[in-house]
Structure 1
């Protein structure tokens, strides 16, 4: 039995095609078709209709996530740049002026050690941190065997006790004392001399002794490990 097109199907009348003995025709609102005559009938799935809000919400959520991610990354990048800038400043900003170590004049009950009257004097203005006109090494001044030395003159009387910039003190890599000075007259302490080289404040080291001779210090020094290493004085 033929079925009459219902009112809700009338909007499809220009889209539904039916078989005809002669040719295909566009059905009008009063035409009738059988189930076998229908070639195509559009269907509308409720699940497909509901997909669009879900897609919109997913897109909106993605945009919000990206915005929050960018907002979180920007402060981290700025902070990292500040930290790197501070690290660079701390690395390159090295004072050429070291604090002078006070020489204690307190005398112990015992007499001063023999080295306080048996040492080699060095007077060399190029050992000052202010001097940067030439590059020398201490291989000719000191031997592989240690001996006691006293520094005098305008170049300084004490080994520098803080890091010195490279290419100062008449050398490429200046040496500075990283230990503690003896506080009592006649006392002896030991420590290491560090050489500021290749961006490292203590790239090379060698061990020394210091004696407090009740008014001045003397140093038990040896030849540095390489040329272009030099003891720096203040």
Structure 2
């Protein structure tokens, strides 16, 4: 009989996607928590813009002048030394944000159910690894992930998703073929990274979010909220 991990027909449901996966690669900010719940992303983006201006490299791109994405500001650093300085600042801010992060409803139960099924869990995120570890330790979820935290490369910000670097690093270091993984993410960047890495993708939306956040052409599987995922994880057969 053919192993489910070698059946390459498209999965038709969320439970089937989960059942096929030997390793789940989770985005952090969104599916697992609201990282910038008490320490806003806008305040951190403003802090980075201020640092750039102080170093003689003010942001001039109209799309970044009022933007709330600190990662976009990090990418805008015009030379490596300044990017390294911004990386240190951003990593510190993300770790502080992790202390006040709000957990996504049902995410902890989902994570524990997946771990109980014998499947591996790994984090593939554009956030600093230290912020992820801080959050997981605060929630006593660190044992479910161990050292499997694949976050932002501190030297090469261009390797953030949608670049597939963190996903490829994850499945290569774990020795698991990409087709036996499943990426769960909440953005077009997550979907593009998974596609480039050859990893099956499940789009996560908060209840009330619209699917267009993945792009007009996205026709892949979607789940609204973590409750459905948590229920499917509890029904998984152990590996």
> Is the TM-score greater than 0.5?
no
Structure number with higher helix proportion: 2
TM-score by length of 2: 0.21
Higher relative contact order (CA closer than 8 Å, sequence separation 6+) = 2
TM-score by length of 1: 0.22
Rg: which structure is higher?
A: 1
Structure number with higher strand proportion: 1
